[in-house]
Structure 1
Amino acid sequence: MKAPIAIHHRPGSFSDRWIEFCRDHAIPHVVVNAYWTDIIDRLRGASAFLWHIAHGLPADMLMGRHVLEAAEQMGLVVFPNYSTRWHFDDKIAQKYLLEAAGAPIVPTNVFFDLHTALAWIDKAQFPKVFKLRRGSGSRNVRLVRTAAEARALARRAFGRGYKPAGAVLDSITAWKITKAKREGRLIDFLRVAPARLRHRLTMNLLMGRERGYVYFQDFMPNNEHDTRVTVIGQRAFAFMRRVRSGDFRASGSGQIIYDRERIDMRCVRTAFDVALRLGTQSLAFDFVYDEQRQPRIVEVSFGYAPGPVHDCNGFWDTELNWHEGALWPEEAILHDLIAGISAGSGQDRA
């Protein structure tokens, strides 16, 4: 491979290990800044372009997809490709995508006018789960126990709306302080708290309020944990996350169970099947059980923390054979991308 791989570097993102891997294996690469106004010209001559866009960076969400789309139009192999990224951090898009793929999604209703939303609420059975289309780690997610509460949420959704990053002080709640203390990182947590507050203020300012829609998912009771399955090419990594104490949410709890004997292989099979149908390079699936104990997909994302995936200490292939040994997801992504370049495959949209 003579033409270099272009990598947008953001410390703390997938790019750290992408760059390290390329250096260690003498793979031609160049570090670029995707925010350069002449980034398209700078990508000419590259074989690929990698950019771990982040939902918490307003600039990434504003123009990341456009730059990656342009790079694909130039013939570059990119990560994330179109099928992997177009629905990123958009639960409304994921609803339609998963329904179109015939995936077993948690039943979801979304409305784009108040009158229709209120009419549905009058007939709905509660509780439901209210969500904004943006956010991760259970941010912007709440349990709605009554129709009256749902009406209030809907009226606000079609009025002043919601801050996409949540209330500023949500970043330093008592639960998060307790979690940091339990994990032995309370001092570090408090040290970065001012920066977290500033970041959340900036996000809410630049991203604008979420309004003009209201989104409800059915509540799936009696789940003590969810199951996260991350599919990267022909590999599936899986672990479970305990539900927070006194809560119904598992995402963001940090209470991870690495026990592959307890993983429901129906989740792994479903994740492989849906990822293949969608044509994604890397996608994390969150599963819970419905009242018949059937796995249902809550949401998906290509943006996830790599550490827990690595700590699975192995993965299943598409034949459900187990391969022992830790693997960083960033390296798995890069392996697949280099293989695609070497095969001259390019990337057709799924």
Structure 2
Amino acid sequence: MRIAIHQNKEIFNHSTSWETEWINYCDEKNIDYEIIDCFSINIIEKLRDFDLLLWHIQNYVLQDMLFARSILQSAKQMGLKVFPDYNTSWHFDDKVAQMFLLQSIKAPIPNHWFFATKESCKKWINSEADFPVIAKLKCGAGSNNVKLLRTKSEALMYATKMFNGGLSSSPSILFKASSNYKSAPDWSTIKKRIKRIPDFIQTYSRAKRMPKEKDYCSFQEFIPNAGYDLKIYVIGDKISFLARHTRKGDFRASGGGNLSYDKSLVPKNVLESAFETSDKLKLQCIGFDYVVDKSTKKGKIIEMSFGFAHQALIGANGYWDRDLQWHNEPVNAPHEIIKNLLKK
């Protein structure tokens, strides 16, 4: 088994990229691998010498979003095993696609309304919408592009922007700084986040190259929660979690960094639906964002992504198996992916 690991540091070189973990794992296990640039000339011919291709697609790298899935699918067509495969990646960083997909299998999700014309959107806002509602761009991370619209006038203003000039999906420097400060429990956490400023600057510079989002509106039902949401990770037969507490004076939790690993916050129905959804969609690896309705205790999926901060997952120090029995063994997602692919 010979593994190709995509890496192009000229385009993107981030401390949380999974290729570093893949390289370390292959070195530790004496697995034959090579670092390759999938944007190089004659890449398809070069891939004929490999059995497996790994690529940590970055949502703020335009080249990745434009071409990675085409190259991965072409490699699979040649007989290579790939990560992420088509089932796992086609909806990556597309919250609208995710909602349609989750609706198709009747997964537990909030109500969702999508509009491709200004007229239909404004008609719904004026006559049918029940406020507050959540407005989301189809792309972006860290809840930067998620807004709570409390009134009809706010929703109409938002729709006007989306169907005229549009909105940028790139992260806001002010929002990120404020979010990190508000969610930091102590000075040592603030110092750790300051050290990651170069990562953010690189992400921001790449994100600014992405086109504006416009000519659609996507709204989601607002689900009152108990002050946190859940990130539920399913990788093969293992499922783990972290809880993210909402920021002070904000309804959002994603991107804030105020984490908890209290297993009592995870209802059984969330674990069961996460396994079921992952199985139905044939996903290799996925992180589901859940909100738990504080009145019913039922979890609902609000978005999903195969890519996530794997270091945060390691902090859970364990996982549940298919029988929902807990094991005190930390899960390193990039390592698990290689192990699962080599089993098949």
- Alpha carbon RMSD of aligned pairs, Å? 2.0
Deviation track 1:82-131 (CA, whole Å, cap 9, x = no partner) reads 11000000001001110011101111111000000001111211000111
Equivalent of 1:8, from 6, 9, 16?
6
Q: In the TM superposition, what is the alpha-carbon distance from 1:177 to its structure 2 partner?
A: 3.9
Deviation track 1:63-98 (CA, whole Å, cap 9, x = no partner) reads 111111111111110000111000000001001110
Q: Is 1:169–1:197's contact at 8 Å kept on the other side of the alignment?
A: no
Matches within 5 A, 1:1-350: 1=1, 4-9=2-7, 12=15, 13-122=17-126, 123-167=128-172, 169-171=174-176, 173-179=177-183, 182=186, 184=188, 186=190, 189=193, 193=197, 196-197=200-201, 199-204=203-208, 206-290=209-293, 291-340=295-344
Q: In the TM superposition, what is the alpha-carbon distance from 1:194 to its structure 2 partner?
A: 7.2
Deviation track 1:266-312 (CA, whole Å, cap 9, x = no partner) reads 11111000000000000011111235332111111111000121111
Q: In the TM superposition, what is the alpha-carbon distance from 1:243 to its structure 2 partner?
A: 1.1
Deviation track 1:136-169 (CA, whole Å, cap 9, x = no partner) reads 1111011100011101101110100001114454
Q: Is 1:223–1:243's contact at 8 Å kept on the other side of the alignment?
A: no
Instruction: Indicate how the Cα distance of structure 1 residues 21 and 207 shifts in structure 2: closer, same or farther if over 3 A, else same.
Output: same
Higher mean displacement: 189-198 or 230-239: 189-198
Instruction: Indicate how the Cα distance of structure 1 residues 183 and 218 shifts in structure 2: closer, same or farther if over 3 A, else same.
Output: farther
Name the CA distance, whole Å, in 2 between partners of 1:242 and 1:36. Answer: 42
Q: Tell me the secondary structure at the aligned position of residue 120 of structure 1.
A: helix
Q: Is 1:310–1:327's contact at 8 Å kept on the other side of the alignment?
A: yes
Instruction: Indicate how the Cα distance of structure 1 residues 322 and 135 shifts in structure 2: closer, same or farther if over 3 A, else same.
Output: same
User: What code does the residue aligned with 2:141 have?
Assistant: S
Q: Is 2:169–2:213's contact at 8 Å kept on the other side of the alignment?
A: yes
User: What code does the residue aligned with 2:28 have?
Assistant: D
Instruction: Indicate how the Cα distance of structure 1 residues 41 and 17 shifts in structure 2: closer, same or farther if over 3 A, else same.
Output: same
Q: Is 1:177–1:189's contact at 8 Å kept on the other side of the alignment?
A: no
Q: Tell me the secondary structure at the aligned position of residue 188 of structure 2.
A: coil
Q: Is 1:238–1:268's contact at 8 Å kept on the other side of the alignment?
A: no
Q: In the TM superposition, what is the alpha-carbon distance from 1:200 to its structure 2 partner?
A: 2.4
Higher mean displacement: 42-51 or 220-229: 220-229
Q: Is 1:6–1:32's contact at 8 Å kept on the other side of the alignment?
A: yes
Q: Is 2:185–2:258's contact at 8 Å kept on the other side of the alignment?
A: no
Name the CA distance, whole Å, in 2 between partners of 1:197 and 1:257. Answer: 27
Give the aligned length.
Answer: 336
Q: Tell me the secondary structure at the aligned position of residue 274 of structure 1.
A: helix
Deviation track 1:181-214 (CA, whole Å, cap 9, x = no partner) reads 835254565576577456425422x211100100
Instruction: Indicate how the Cα distance of structure 1 residues 325 and 89 shifts in structure 2: closer, same or farther if over 3 A, else same.
Output: same
Q: Tell me the secondary structure at the aligned position of residue 207 of structure 1.
A: coil
Q: Is 1:132–1:210's contact at 8 Å kept on the other side of the alignment?
A: yes
Q: Is 1:106–1:296's contact at 8 Å kept on the other side of the alignment?
A: yes
Name the CA distance, whole Å, in 1 between partners of 2:52 and 2:160. Answer: 46
Q: Is 1:237–1:309's contact at 8 Å kept on the other side of the alignment?
A: yes
Q: Tell me the secondary structure at the aligned position of residue 136 of structure 1.
A: coil
Q: Tell me the secondary structure at the aligned position of residue 297 of structure 1.
A: strand
Unaligned runs of 5+ in 2: 8-12
Name the CA distance, whole Å, in 1 between partners of 2:255 and 2:159. Answer: 25
Q: Tell me the secondary structure at the aligned position of residue 106 of structure 2.
A: coil
TM-score of the superposition, structure 2-length normalised?
0.92
Q: In the TM superposition, what is the alpha-carbon distance from 1:327 to its structure 2 partner?
A: 2.5
Name the CA distance, whole Å, in 1 between partners of 2:140 and 2:326. Answer: 33
Name the CA distance, whole Å, in 2 between partners of 1:182 and 1:42. Answer: 49
Q: Tell me the secondary structure at the aligned position of residue 312 of structure 1.
A: coil
TM-score of the superposition, structure 1-length normalised?
0.90
